[in-house]
Amino acid sequence: MSVLSLHDVTKNFGETEIIRGVSLNIERGEKHAIIGPNGAGKSTLFHLISGLYNVTGGSIKFKDKEIQNKKPYEISRLGLARSFQVTNIFARLNVFENVRCSLLWSSGYKYSFWHLLGRQKELNEKTLEVLEQIGLQDKKLTPAGELAYAHQRALELGIAIASGAEVIMLDEPVAGMSLTEAESAVELIHRITEGKTLIMVEHDMNIVFDVADRISVLVYGEVIACDKPENIRANTHVQEAYLGEVVTDA
């Protein structure tokens, strides 16, 4: 049964059609990668699913609820979390507070102004667990804005996964990292998405083929292929559209 399904989703900016009828089913527990050339609309698609943009047409269903045109916080509360391509953290809060903030709603605190955070034992323990997972337990009191780039990316992931959402969307999680940093990031992604549904936009094909169970290829706002990694690799359409030429000895 699919946990997230897009049906004929379109998005126009003024006259320009960015997403032109995308239909996509994401199964529960699968690791799904979306690839495509620059400007294909991958980030736009993420923004549509997560509620940053409203769709122009079509519908998006998450756990059988229609979520197109819902607000980001409503979608997030349903259990869909995401990270951003450009680091998007709470710069003046420290690392610990960043992660704890993203745990608040799912722990049921809502807009409470009668709970003292320091006293919420379970919440703080959970926060520490997440910090350990992303390897930032030593930096917990550092203001997020002062972290090194790779650490900020780890925190970006931490904020996305902390709430325990069952579907996690990662937008180019290793962008701008060195090779070794990217390797440990991939390991981190494996670890934190275990047993969860993952949707990921990524340019690095090694990582895509390493992580994904299924790959969708987005070109000019349309999904031209959606299949298992080995079939995508062999798909001549994809090679033409994406790689620019047919690779014969795939």
Partner 1 sequence: MTVIKKSTVWICYLLGLLALPQFFDSVLAISIFNQMAIAIVFALSYNMLLGQGGMLSFGHAVYFGLGGFLAVHALVMIEFEILSFSIIWIPLVGGFIGLLAALFIGTFSTHKAGTVFAMISLGIGELIAASSLIFVSFFGGEAGISGDRTFGPPFFGIEWFQNLEIYYLAVAWVFIATLFMYFFTLTPAGKMANAVRDNPERAEFIGYSARRVRYITFCAAGFFAGIAGGLFALNYEFITEENLNAATSGRVLLSAYIGGLGYFIGPIIGAVVLTLMNSLLSNYSDLWMLYLGIMFLLTVLFLPRGFAGFIMMHQMVWAHGKIKSLVLPYLITGVPSFIFVIASVGLIELSHTDEAEFYYLGLNFDSTTAIDFILISIAVLAALFCIRKSLPQLRAAWESANEISDDDEKEAQS
d(CA 197, CA 212): 11
Stretch that binds partner 1, among 37-45, 49-57, 204-212, 225-233 (CB under 8 A): 49-57
Stretch that binds partner 1, among 96-104, 176-184, 195-203, 213-221 (CB under 8 A): 96-104
Whichever of 51 and 221 has its CB closer to partner 1, that residue is 51
Beta carbon of residue 191, minimum distance to partner 1 (angstroms, whole number):
21
138 binds partner 1 (CB under 8 A): yes
Burial annotation 216-236 (CB, 10 A radius, 16+ → b, else e): bbbbebbbbbbeebeebeebe
Residue 81 tokens, joined: 């979390």
User: Which of 13, 28, 39, 71 lies at the binding interface for partner 1 (CB under 8 A)?
Assistant: 71
Burial annotation 5-43 (CB, 10 A radius, 16+ → b, else e): bbbebbbeeeeebbbbebebbbeeebbbbbbbeeebbbb
d(CA 162, CA 133): 10
Stretch that binds partner 1, among 99-107, 185-193, 194-202, 234-242 (CB under 8 A): 99-107
Strands 65-66 and 80-82: unpaired
Please name the residue that has the structure tokens 């359409």. 237
239 binds partner 1 (CB under 8 A): no
Whichever of 109 and 209 has its CB closer to partner 1, that residue is 109
What is the dihedral angle through the alpha carbons of 189, 195, 196, 200, rounded to the nearest 10 degrees?
A: 40
20 binds partner 1 (CB under 8 A): no
61 binds partner 1 (CB under 8 A): no
Stretch that binds partner 1, among 5-13, 54-62, 115-123, 175-183 (CB under 8 A): 115-123
Name the site residues for partner 1 (rule: CB under 8 A): 50-52, 71-73, 76-77, 81-82, 84, 88-93, 97-98, 100-102, 104-106, 109-118, 138, 159, 163
